[in-house]
Structure 1
Amino acid sequence: MPEHLLESHRMSLTTRFGLVAGTTALAIAGTAFGGAESDNDALSQIAELKQELAELKQQDSQDWLTEQRASEIRGIVQDVLADADTRTSFQNSGAMAGWNKGFFLASPDGNFRLNVGGMLQTRFTLNNAKDGTPAKNLYGFDMGNTYLDFSGHVVDPSWQFHVRGYFSGVGMNGNGNGMNTLAFASVTKDFGDGWGVTAGQFRGPWLRETLVDDGYQLGMERSISNAYFTQGFDQGIQLNYESEAFRANAFIGDGVLQATNVAGPTGTQNSTWNSNNTKYALAGRFEYKISGDWAIFDDFTSFKDEEGGMMVGVAGVYETGGQNVGAASPFLNKSIYGLTGDFSWEMGGANLFASFTWLGNNIDNSNNPWGFNVQGGYFVTEDIEIFGRYDYIDYDIDAGGANADQTKYNGVTFGANYFMSANVKCTVEWGMNLKSFGSDNISYGFRADVLDNKDQWALRGQIQLMF
């Protein structure tokens, strides 16, 4: 309060004290002439005047308190406002952040968005193999799939991107080293009306199990038959179309099939333009949705409260070997081709999936493998799902004697999933190969068998967290 107003306030208070005192004196004098009848009235007036005087003092004290702290309060208010400005500056600069099935950053107009996600899988495996080396029973922990994932759009929602890197833990042959390896690196342009184009490195349109992301499989891993025939992370360009009833993808690039399929292809993940083993590779996939919504086919699990649906799919692949395979390679100027078909049925508490795959080629003295997979799951409670799977592969290899059982894979898997939350899942599964393994399958809990031994089994447990 300014000094001249403060002084006026003090003088006003003194004047009021004087008036009160004078009035009190007159009241006391009046009582001397009023007699006994007026004593009570005088005492009542005195009490009222004392109360008024006390209220005036209290009001004055509060005014003084306000003045003494005015500067401090103004400072506090300024600090609070500054802090509020700091906290809202992120929004004022045109960005929002939060959680919507994953962490995100976005502009208020929706034209820019970054989604940040990832997954961790920790596993325990107990393996039993007859005459196994160094022991019949081996067990231990390892990391399954661990990755960081970035996706979103820029400029407007039609320009989409996807980047993902895996921290190598366990491969089919146990060659993980913990290093981060680029997997997805793609740009998609959505032209509207269901049409779009994707370019870069991504999973080509071949096997459905591979196209369903790692964290949404029925078991801990995809089926072994899928692992044998699968596509990789393929470099190329793809035309996409989706309608209410069907969707289709057509791919052309450097390669789709992997070295695990047949001799020749090596995959094109992170390869350079001059190092791939094919002249060209073509792949296409067509899916027809009999019922349900497309979104329910993003996984193999069907919760009790989910909508049901049914879908069929077919796909084909064709690629020809190029000069990089070497003049002595049987794949040079030869072709490999394949067909696959699959059926998916989600029933709101249960699911069923089946697939068949065949690969052929015109390479001299080469094999034409084929295989199939049938799997299903059922929720016994709201959070616990039991599942089973049967795999069969005929490698189409002529072998006899001790290696006869290694010409085929014949395996079963049984297990259960416990969904602790939408982002955390625990899985326990037991699998057995009724034939014999000729090589390691570490990520599935198996190793190469000795001679003609068979019936190798693995008991595994996993906790998976996605964010």
Structure 2
Amino acid sequence: MQSLPCSSATAWVAAATVAALAAPAAMGQAADGVLDKPEPSVSDLLKRLDVLEERNKELEGKVTDLTRQQGEEWLGEQRAAQIREVVRDVLADSEQRASLRDGGMTAGWNDGFFLASPDGRFRMNLGGFVQTRFIWSAIQTSPSVPYTFDQQQDRYGFDVPQVQLWADGHIFSRDFQYMVKARFYEQFLTELNKGTTAPVPGAADYSGFELMDAWARINLDDNWSVRAGQFRSPYSRGFLVLEQYQMSASRSVVDYHYALGYTQGLELEYASDEARMRMSLNNGAEDNLLGDPAANYGAAGVGLGQFKIFPTGSYGSQNAPFWAQTAAISATGRFDWKMAGTWDQFRSYTSPAMEEFGLLMGLGVHYQNSYAYQPNNSAGGLPDPSNTWFATTFDAQLNFGGASFYGAFFYNYLDAPGATNPQFGSLPSSGNFIDLGGFSIYAFQTMASAYIAPKMELFGRYEFAMIDGINSAAVGPVLADPDPLNLLTVGFNWYLDGQDLKWTTDLGWAITEVHPWFADIEAGWRPSASDEVVFRTQLQLMF
């Protein structure tokens, strides 16, 4: 039944009522002259009114029911329209989310900032750290030590030794990985000799930007992978442990000189739960064997000015173009055996309380044959002797959960008839080379730490290095037969928020002289007589 409008129903009731009241009179008038009926009595009229009132109430009830039904139907239509609008909004939002799944990304924080596709096929992790410190270096000066060109006994101040930024992750799947890392750092460039000419006075350059890691890795299966690009030489944990995870304010002097640094090339890796093996064919290691390439000692006249010598004839391959590579062949390998613990424990040298016991041992080997002037060897008939470098290292770390111990031994043998300190572009000649002959370098370090509070750690380190068999006549009497290096460092770490926010303070003492070939200027160790002291306090923020 179709519902009546409210106004129509009301009019219909009124008309019916009027008609009912008028019906007797009309019927009486119409009957006059046809049927002679008597007039109705008052009681009859009252009865009729009662009947009409009952009918009127009945009709009013029907009208009320009709009105209610009409209102409910109108409200139902309104609700339906609202529901339809909500459904349309939900569908639109669903379509928008579907489009984001197809071409959008997710971002957030998971032990570092990241950008990723929702399906996990693409991911980029972004990070970095800032180190700021106060350093004080005090040396013992003496006219009898002429190679101590820095006659300022105390040097101190604030500086920012390193700021690093990196991006790593994977593309297409977790089997295709990448990393790009660079740093801002302080430097003081050395003007090196050209042949036998006098050293050129150095110029200050207090800022530097350096590409560190730049590589791509392909996982061949669950255990094997291959990597190409620029990466850390797979040789010593002293350099494989990243700068932000070092125990002291700076890497050890022994690691700086003998841990090989960065290289460019190919690396094949096997990794399992218990062991890891890495083998690399590359362009050669960083040659910091005899001196600090970041130092400028400034003057000529002592030992032919050879305060920094490249016994391999090579600067190293980091960031070098192909035509400047001096290594004819270079191969590096390392084997790690994790006898207890997890790999993640050995990202650093520390072992927080309640950590499980861990033991890691490693062996590294390196062989390199280099030509000092290989970039210019097209100049036929000129001498260009090759230099051979063999190096090996063994290290071990024990984590006790609240304490740790680390030790490393290094051995380097060099046959260096063509040692030099060239700049690219200088012509080879018999006077440009320093025949150091065959000699050996021995070095080791030990380091121990213990937690005295949940976030407070004490540590100590001892370093030793010596050079044996070098051709003294080739370097002059001042630099010949250097005393061994003996360094002792003690300090503490306050882990305010783990490695992310760390305050490190240490104090180092040189028990014997720091020969120029053992110097590490960035770490504060200047060439000096015995009893040099270096104090460092450093804050690190990693993000």
CA-to-aligned-CA distance 1:276-322 (integer Å, 9 cap, x gap):
11112001101111111111111111111322200111111001113
Equivalent in 291, 314, 322 of residue 363 of structure 2: 314
Is residue 196 of structure 1 aligned with residue 225 of structure 2? yes
- The verdict on how the C-alpha distance between 1:334 and 1:134 changes in structure 2, with shifts beyond 3 A counting, is closer
Name the TM-score, length of structure 2 as normaliser.
Answer: 0.67
Confirm or deny that 1:283 pairs with 2:332: yes
Q: 2:263 aligns with which of 234, 238, 246?
A: 234
Q: Which residue of 2 aligns with 1:5?
A: none
Q: Hey, what's the Cα distance between the residues in 2 that align with 1:329 and 1:115?
A: 51
Asked if 2 retains the 8 angstrom alpha-carbon contact of 1:406 and 1:435, the reply is no
1:91 to 1:177, Cα distance in 2 relative to 1, 3 A? farther
Alignment match, 2:493 = 417
Matches within 5 A, 1:277-356: 277-322=326-371, 323-324=373-374, 332-356=385-409
1:330 deviates by 9.0
Does the 8 A contact of 2:129 with 2:163 survive in 1? yes
Cα distance change on mapping 1:87 and 1:343 into 2, 3 Å: same
Structure 1 residue 117 displacement after superposition = 0.4
Q: 1:197 to 1:456 in 2, by over 3 A?
A: same
> What residue in structure 2 maps to residue 372 of structure 1?
444
Alignment of 1:107-186 (within 5 A): 107-131=117-141, 133=150, 135-170=152-187, 177-186=206-215
Give 2:535's aligned residue. 459
Deviation at 1:357, TM superposition (A): 0.4
Letter in 2 for 1:99: W
Please name the residue that 1:48 is paired with: none
- The TM-score normalised by the length of structure 1 is 0.77
Q: Given the alignment of the two structures, is residue 442 of structure 1 paired with residue 521 of structure 2, yes or no?
A: yes
**In 1, distance between residues paired with 2:99 and 2:492?**
48
Amino acid at match of 1:332: P
Most deviating of 144-153 and 134-143: 134-143
d(CA) in 1 for partners of 2:401 and 2:452? Answer: 12
8 Å contact from structure 2 (residues 135, 524) kept in 1? yes
Structure 1 residues 434 and 84, CA gap change in structure 2 (3 angstroms): farther
Amino acid paired to 1:277: T
Residue pair 1:172, 1:443 contacting (<8 A) in 2 also:
no
CA distance in 1, matches of 2:398, 2:94: 53
Asked if structure 1 preserves the Cα contact closer than 8 Å seen for 2:286 and 2:318, the reply is no
**1:254 equivalent in structure 2:** 283
What SS class does the counterpart of residue 257 from structure 2 fall into? helix
The structure whose Rg is larger is 2
- Where relative contact order (Cα < 8 A, 6+ residues apart) is larger, the structure is 2
User: Percent of aligned positions with the same letter in both sequences?
Assistant: 31
Cα displacement (A) at 1:135: 3.3
Which amino acid letter does the alignment assign opposite residue 540 of structure 2?
Q
Specify the SS of the correspondent of 2:345.
helix
- What do the CA deviations read for 1:71-126 (whole angstroms, capped 9, x no partner)? xxxxxxx99x9999999986673311111111001111111000000011001011
Is 1:268 the counterpart of 2:317 in the alignment?
A: yes
The unaligned stretches of length 5 or more in structure 2 are 12-77, 79-87, 142-147, 191-202, 291-309, 418-435
Q: 2:459: which partner in 1? A: 387
* CA root-mean-square deviation: 3.7
Counterpart of 2:483 (choices 407, 429, 437) is 407
Distance 1:151 1:329 in 2: 46
Distance 1:275 1:194 in 2: 35
1:430 to 491, 503, 507: 507
Report the CA distance shift for 1:379/1:402 in structure 2 as closer, same or farther (over 3 A).
Answer: same
SS of structure 1 residue aligned to 2:255? helix
| 1:100 aligned partner | 110
